[in-house]
Amino acid sequence: MHGYANPARFLKFARPATGWLLSIGALLIAVGCYSGLFVTPPDYLQGDTARILYIHVPAAWLGMAGWGSIAAASISQLVWRHPLAAVAGRAVAPAGATFAAICLATGSIWGRPAWGTWWEWDGRLTSMLVLFFLYLGYIALASAERERGGEGRMTAIFGLVGAVNLPIIHYSVLWWNTLHQAQSISLTGSKIAPELLWPLPFTMIGFTALFAALVLMRMRGELARTRLEARLRRSAVE
């Protein structure tokens, strides 16, 4: 990790990696979505409505994983002073917020036929909504600190504090009597029928690759902006 602290070394890796991740992600998403929509059979209880899981589950995973990445970047910034940590945190936040919003939207669409309502103040849904607002707060705070020329320490602290919400989201279906179904996939196995489950790894890996590509693109863009601003300042002095 520290080997990529040098921006030039990071960019040498990030440029080709972005293209590869975009290509792999697009291919896997296409295969997973096509298989989930047209190849797998309808669920025996929910029918075709259950097909939304191929989007909803990856979105939920990436919404949470995004904030986990922000927390890791915050630790790296506060403890090891990693020069790219703040850049990484700012790059992850919009992508994480987008997938958190997709998770909420698809969950609401799924909930309408399953629960008879678009929204319920369920523990899982409410804690995920809190995560989305945390993303918006992080983006606003990071932008304000950057405009003031700060190091981003307050943003990093906010990123660590916000991580408290992640175990709440994960265990919400166990801690409270909730409409949201219990965890269907774990390290020990899955409650989803194999004939419905097999396209899900394609979309999970595909959207994860897309997420990583978006983060690398934003990091590259911010580093280019920083270099341009430095050149403009030097030109103004000369």
Question: pLDDT per residue over 11-49, tens digit each?
Answer: 888 999 999 999 999 999 999 999 999 999 998 888 899
Q: Select from 92, 93, 98 the least CA-distant residue to 138.
A: 93
Please check whether residue 65 lies inside any domain of the structure: yes
Please check whether residue 211 lies inside any domain of the structure: yes
Please check whether residue 110 lies inside any domain of the structure: yes
Per-residue pLDDT tens over the stretch 69-98: 999 999 999 998 888 999 999 999 999 999
Number of domains in the chain: 1
pLDDT band per the 50, 70, 90 thresholds, residue 192: confident
Please check whether residue 22 lies inside any domain of the structure: no
Look up residue 151 and give its amino acid. E
Q: CA–CA separation, 212 vs 66, rounded Å?
A: 10
Write down the pTM of the prediction: 0.91
Q: Residue 81: its pLDDT value, please?
A: 86
Please check whether residue 233 lies inside any domain of the structure: yes
Q: Residue 143: its pLDDT value, please?
A: 93
Please check whether residue 100 lies inside any domain of the structure: yes
- What domain range is 219 assigned to? 27-37+48-180+196-237
Who contacts 134 (Cβ-Cβ below 8 Å, separation ≥6)?
67, 162, 165
Q: How far apart are the first and last CA of the chain?
A: 37
Please check whether residue 115 lies inside any domain of the structure: yes
Who contacts 18 (Cβ-Cβ below 8 Å, separation ≥6)?
213, 216, 217, 220
Q: Among 103-112, 167-176, 225-234, which range has the highest average pLDDT?
A: 103-112
Q: Which residue has the higher pLDDT, 51 or 118?
A: 51
Please check whether residue 94 lies inside any domain of the structure: yes
Averaged pLDDT for residues 44-55: 91
In this structure, what token pair is assigned to residue 132?
A: 């989305």
Q: Select from 127, 122, 139 the least CA-distant residue to 165.
A: 127
Tokens 């029928």 correspond to 193
Q: What angle do CA 95, 205, 182 make, to 5 degrees?
A: 85
Q: Which residue has the higher pLDDT, 137 or 148?
A: 137
* CA-CA-CA-CA dihedral for 125, 127, 133, 137, to nearest 10: -170
